[in-house]
Chain A
Amino acid sequence: MKIASAAISGLLFGIGLALSGMLDPVRVLGFLDIAGGAWDPTLVFVLAGAVGVTAVGYGLAGRRAAPIYDERFHLPEATALDLRLLGGATVFGVGWGLVGYCPGPAIASIGFAGTSAAIFCLAMVGGMILHRALPETARI
Chain B
Amino acid sequence: MTADFTPLTSLLGGGLIGLAATLLLLLNGRIAGISGIMAGAIAAPGPERDWRTAFLVGLIFGPVTFAFFGGTLPQPVLPALPIVVVAGLLVGFGTRLGGGCTSGHGVCGLARLSPRSLAATATFVVAAMATVFLVRLLGGG
Contact = CB atoms under 8 A, between A and B. Distances in A.
Interface of A: 1-27, 29-30, 32-36, 38-43, 45-58, 60-61, 64, 66-70, 72-76, 78-81, 84-99, 101-104, 106-114, 116-117, 119-132, 139-140
Interface residues on B, range: 35 or more
Contacts, number: 497
Contact of B14 (A27, A49, A101): A49
Contacts of B93: 88, 91, 127-128, 130-131
A52 B13 CA distance: 12
B114 to A, nearest CB: 7
Interface in B15-71: 15-32, 34-35, 38-39, 42, 47, 50-52, 54-67, 71
Interface in B55-111: 55-67, 71, 73-79, 81, 83-99, 101-103, 105-111
A49 B12 contact: yes
Contacts of B120: 85-86, 88-89
A46 to B, nearest CB: 4
Contacts of A58: 21-22, 25, 108, 111-112
Given A88-B97, A128-B38, A25 B11 contact: no
B78 A99 contact: yes
Contacts of A38: 1-2
Contacts of B31: 74-76
Given A5-B24, A97-B131, A101-B87, A88 B99 contact: yes
B55 A50 contact: no
A89 B141 CA distance: 23
Q: Which 6 A-B pairs have the closest CB atoms?
A: A14-B62, A88-B98, A127-B92, A49-B14, A123-B88, A93-B127
Contacts of B62: 10-18, 108
Interface of B: 1-2, 4-7, 9-32, 34-35, 38-39, 42, 47, 50-52, 54-67, 71, 73-79, 81, 83-99, 101-103, 105-112, 114-116, 119-121, 123-133, 135-136, 141
A11 B126 CA distance: 30
Given A89-B123, A93-B131, A96-B128, A22 B13 contact: yes
A89 B38 contact: no
Given A18-B73, A61-B22, A126-B89, A45 B14 contact: yes
